[in-house]
């Protein structure tokens, strides 16, 4: 290869690198930042922003891993209400998997979800924001009357409905 060909190849490579960087920045800049609860149902994915939750205040006793109970006041929405507002139908045999930001999972049944005032998504606990792993707005799954404290999923990110 002569000197002129090497120069042309270097210019073409530089142009390609610059174009790739510009394209990557432009695509990344146009992608909307999705913060909220991701719901996967029937092959569809829906993101419900934390601000769009139909929030109410609810309170009750939560059981920890040692069997001790404590009373907490939360702000958020009942999971069944969230599903209804999102057009998602839940049946008794529906399997629901709650997934945290660090991929911890807990399973619920349609019967549990359909039992009124039992399962909630909370964004505030005792008048304080529930934080995500990165420090922004987060959520917690709250299951009243459940002795298995592991199902009180903190840093809730995704709900999968099967």
For the chain, where are the E strands, in sequence order?
37-41, 44-48, 56-63, 69-78, 95-100, 105-109, 119-125, 128-129, 140-143, 156-161
* CATH, domain range 37-161: 3.90.420.10
The closest alpha carbon to 135, from 105, 114, 155, belongs to 155
The pLDDT tens digits of the residues spanning 7-66 come to: 888 888 888 888 877 777 666 554 445 689 999 998 999 999 988 888 999 998 888 778
Percentage of the chain exceeding pLDDT 90: 56
The pLDDT tens digits of the residues spanning 75-86 come to: 999 999 999 999
Which residues on neighbouring strands pair with residue 100, listed in sequence order?
156
pTM of the predicted structure, to 2 decimals: 0.76
DSSP SS3 for 115:
coil
C-alpha torsion sign, points 82, 72, 146, 130: positive
């Amino acid at each position: 290869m002569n000197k002129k060909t090497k120069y042309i190849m270097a210019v073409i490579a530089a142009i390609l690198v610059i174009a790739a960087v510009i394209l990557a920045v432009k695509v990344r800049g146009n992608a909307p930042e999705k913060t909220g609860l991701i719901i996967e149902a029937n092959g569809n994915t829906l993101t419900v922003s934390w601000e769009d939750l139909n929030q109410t205040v609810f309170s009750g006793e939560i059981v920890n891993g040692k069997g001790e109970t404590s009373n907490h006041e939360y702000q958020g929405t009942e999971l069944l209400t969230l599903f209804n507002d999102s057009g998602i139908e839940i049946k008794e045999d529906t399997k629901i998997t709650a997934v945290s930001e660090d991929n911890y999972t807990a399973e619920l049944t349609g019967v549990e979800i359909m039992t009124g005032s039992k399962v909630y998504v909370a964004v505030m606990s005792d008048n304080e924001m529930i934080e995500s792993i990165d420090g922004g707005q987060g959520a917690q799954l709250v299951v009243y009357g459940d002795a298995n404290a592991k199902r009180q999923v903190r840093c809730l990110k995704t709900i999968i409905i099967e």
